[in-house]
Amino acid sequence: MSTKVILVPTDFSDAANVAYSHAISLANIFNLPITLLHIVKSTDQITSAKGKIERVSEDLKENHNIDCKGIVRTGNIFEDINEVARELEAKFIVMGIHGVKGMEKYLGTPALKVITSSKIPFILVQETTTLKNYYKNIVLPLDLTLETKQKLGYATEIAKKFNSTIHIIVPKTSNSDLTMQVRKNIAFAQNFLNEHNVDYQIKMSAGSSFSNEVVEFASNANADLIAIMNAHETNLNVFGSNPKQNIITNAHSIPVLCVTPRDSAVGFWK
């Protein structure tokens, strides 16, 4: 088996160029190689695609002094991104997106499974995302699901590597049962972050559209990353309609970490 990698699906677009930049930062801080992945529909496209991906990978190696290689697969993105990620034991999948229109093929369609079916965290960046080599401020919506604790684990690992501050925003609710769950999650988050010596701040939402509040809060906090959970919709979900679209394609082009729940909240770093 290969060592763990940062996997970057690429279509050689401007959005992919931004993804390379974020992948390089992660590769340097986690000391991992980068694998670029390009998927073609037919075998007669392989030769041309290999030439392109080899040129890009060589350019990244020479200009950024990193271990990088490219691979080409025949298939479709709905299946092969996650299949390759599993084969290579990818730690993160960093993918560029083309704004709201570009995400229509991912959101509200079977292609959403590319992200939500993956056990490997996605970091999604827009083609208009500012190029940075750090994540100093991470916004973490502390929703009401039990799985949100796993999201906290990944955000904490990144925060420790980049010496980041985690900005927690908590949903407002008048339901007594949900209020109790919020308090439990806040207490868990505080204990967890204190244990790992990560700086954090906590803010209560105003009670309007939570996903919109998350985006505006992230903008005001100069966030470099928003961490969300791909939890199934339940009566505990407080994000409102199309929360993933609201946050992933946010108007401020803030990158988004998408974490899919595992069977257990133990072993964030495995």
Instruction: Give yes or no for a contact between 60 and 192, defined as CB atoms under 8 angstroms apart.
Output: no
190 and 255 within one domain = yes
Quick one: which of 211, 206, 195, 112 has its CA closest to 149? Answer: 195
Give the separation between CA 161 and CA 207, rounded to whole angstroms: 33
- pTM of the shown model: 0.87
240 and 150 within one domain = yes
The answer to whether residue 165 is domain-embedded is yes
Quick one: which of 94, 133, 89, 68 has its CA closest to 15? Answer: 94
The answer to whether residue 22 is domain-embedded is yes
- The residue out of 94, 126, 158 marking a domain boundary is 126
120 and 142 within one domain = no
39 and 108 within one domain = yes
Pairing label, strands 122-126, 6-9: unpaired
Total domain count, the chain: 2
What is the domain range of residue 42?
Answer: 6-126
144 and 79 within one domain = no
Which CATH number do you get for residue 183? Answer: 3.40.50.620
The answer to whether residue 268 is domain-embedded is no
Question: DSSP for 196-248?
Answer: TT-EEEEEE--SS-HHHHHHHHHHHTT-SEEEEE-PPP-TT--S-SSHHHHHH
Model pLDDT for residues 130-178, shown as the tens digit of each residue: 777 789 999 999 876 667 777 899 999 999 999 999 999 998 877 777 7
Model pLDDT for residues 210-249, shown as the tens digit of each residue: 888 999 999 999 999 999 987 544 333 434 445 667 788 8
pLDDT, mean of residues 40-65: 95
194 and 87 within one domain = no
